[in-house]
Amino acid sequence: MALRRKRLRSAPFPPEWRRIVESHCLFYERLPKPDRRELEGHIQVFLAEKKFEGCGGLEVNEEMKVCIAAHACLLLLHRKTDYYPDLKTVLVYPTAYVVPTTRHIGSGVFEESQQTRAGESWREGAVVLAWDAVLTGVRNPGSGYNVVFHEFAHQLDYEDGQADGAPLLGHGEPLIEQKRHYAEWSRIMKTEFEQLRARVNLGQHSVLSDYGATSPVEFFAVATECFFSKPVEMRQAHPELYEQMKWHYQQDPAQLGWHWPKTSVQ
């Protein structure tokens, strides 16, 4: 598999794919040339290994595949990666979709309802995305909202076998260094999560989405969205959190000038 992936990464990147990346990913033009080439290589591996399926009558085309793959693979730059090893299929709906849910409300009583979702990430097998939600992130890159970054952050979270808001940290480093990384990560993420919950309870605005206050798992996904969508604002408002994201993703988008205009990209 390693040799096959190496061949895929070194193959010429199709010009039509590059046009899609250039038009759907504003971050691409801000990347240094070596990073662009690395991203293109990752996209080629991702598209060769992952299956895409349309749902709700949607026919998934090349534009959708390349756009989703590019955003998912941005999270893999500069790091050893197994390309989301548990992911087999990306399911794409045309718009937000409805799923039945069951909630225990106490005394053995369960409440059935329906939830409207723009995306979800399963521990094994699939990521589900609504294409209109994907486009919202594409057209408003500085909004802090990006369903692809969010759901694929969950996939990274799952790689150590549990969903807890802590992805694999210091993989390949000596055990003592890994323990140090996890201790620092836990301290900062716990503090930032609790501060966000307090702000949400008080109705105060934050550069981080309120949804991050739901749980530590969602906080990591929201922090990932913010890191790649609002890096300058995040670095200013949450410097310690930014440094943790910077260390984990081995990228510094604020330093590269990722400060997007407020107007939408069409």
Domain ranges of the chain: 2-249
Structure tokens, 54: 């349309």
Q: How far apart are CA 103 and CA 134, in angstroms?
A: 28
pLDDT at 258: 79
Q: Find all residues with CB under 8 Å of 158, minimum gap 6, and list them.
A: 86, 121, 123
pTM, to two decimals: 0.91
Which region holds residue 213: left if phi is over 0, alpha if psi is between -120 and 50, else beta?
alpha
Q: What is the mean pLDDT of the chain?
A: 91
Which CATH number applies to 2-249? 3.40.390.10
φ, ψ for residue 92, nearest 5 deg: -125, 120
Q: How confident is the model at residue 170 (pLDDT cuts 50, 70, 90)?
A: confident
- Each residue's pLDDT tens digit, 176-207: 888 898 999 999 999 999 999 999 999 998 99
Q: How confident is the model at residue 50 (pLDDT cuts 50, 70, 90)?
A: very high
Q: Is the pLDDT of residue 114 over 70?
A: no
